[in-house]
Amino acid sequence: MTPRTIPDGDETPGAVAARLTGRPVTAERSLSGGLAEVTLDDGRSVVVKRGHRPGAVRAEAAGLRWLAEAGAVRVPTVYGDDPHHLVIDRVPQGRPSAGAAVRFGRELAALHACGAPAFGAPPPGGPRDAYIGDAPMRNVEGTDWSAWYAEHRVLPYLRRAVDDGTVRPAEAAVVEEVCVRLPELAGPAEPPARLHGDLWNGNVLWGDDDRVRLIDPAAHGGHRETDLAMLHLFGCPHLDRVLEGYRQAAPLAAGWRDRIGLHQLFPLLVHAVLFGRGYAEQALAEARAALAR
């Protein structure tokens, strides 16, 4: 009898984990957000994630491997992936601590220092057409951060927000003026850093071993202050200690605090596209503040 081909959407998480890890499965249970936890016969717990957007799983898997390759921050091990599924370590949860925060700051600085071939460079094996959350994110390489950030990280989402009616055409001018003035607002030139790319608090997991692990990257080459600005945007436990550890390992350029809002324009406009007017108003406020300095 010819084996029946099971469509990807009909495969159970346990079947996916067994196929991609090559190990028998002893248990599985659903988690929030469409994830599932699966126990393998050797006792390991893994998470099975299904992606519904073309290229999203490939981008995430490549990003995790690129971050792991740096040997700096900890990320879940990728046990297997295909165009629709990702199987990674299950991270046992702990409580945030000041000591773990300082260590995370040092590790993040080491990750950034590993660098990238260019601003906008995707991880090796990762697609140029990737995602940040549910929003498309195109990785186009550039050598000048100001020009690249304006063209490929700010303006695409501003135009989408205007097209959607979330930002009024007259309001867009303030963000466009920031983009024109970026060379004078951006501070000292920095080499391309290896970024997590979507470093909000929900993607920072505090493990039960007093170590931080990062998940769900939108990894690419960028400016290191962008990752730090994302941590500030939505808050992070012991953020002052994270910054203490970071600056111990890699001092930041003078005036970096004044540039936080500038680097937040990208994620705020992404959120405006995904979630609406409130984030657009925040982006416009940050743009006005940047021009007023």
C-alpha–C-alpha distance, residues 8 and 122, integer Å: 27
Asked, for residue 3, whether it belongs to a domain, the answer is no
- Per-residue model confidence (pLDDT) at position 131: 95
C-alpha–C-alpha distance, residues 281 and 272, integer Å: 8
Asked, for residue 152, whether it belongs to a domain, the answer is yes
| Count of domains observed in the chain | 1
Asked, for residue 236, whether it belongs to a domain, the answer is yes
Q: Which among 89, 198, 216, 227 is annotated as catalytic? A: 198
Residues of the chain where predicted confidence (pLDDT) is lower than 50: 1-8
Asked, for residue 41, whether it belongs to a domain, the answer is no
Q: What is the pTM of this model?
A: 0.93
Asked, for residue 35, whether it belongs to a domain, the answer is no
Question: What is the CATH classification number for the domain harbouring 170?
Answer: 3.90.1200.10
Largest alpha-carbon pair distance within the chain? 73
Per the structure, the complete domain to which residue 100 belongs is given by 91-293
- Per-residue model confidence (pLDDT) at position 9: 55
Structure tokens given for 21: 């890890």
Nearest to 56 by CA among 170, 150, 133, 140: 133
What CA–CA distances, in Å, run from 267 to 53, 58, 86, 208?
A: 20, 22, 25, 29
Asked, for residue 48, whether it belongs to a domain, the answer is no
- Per-residue model confidence (pLDDT) at position 293: 85
Is 209 assigned a catalytic role?
no
Q: What is the DSSP letter of 251?
A: P
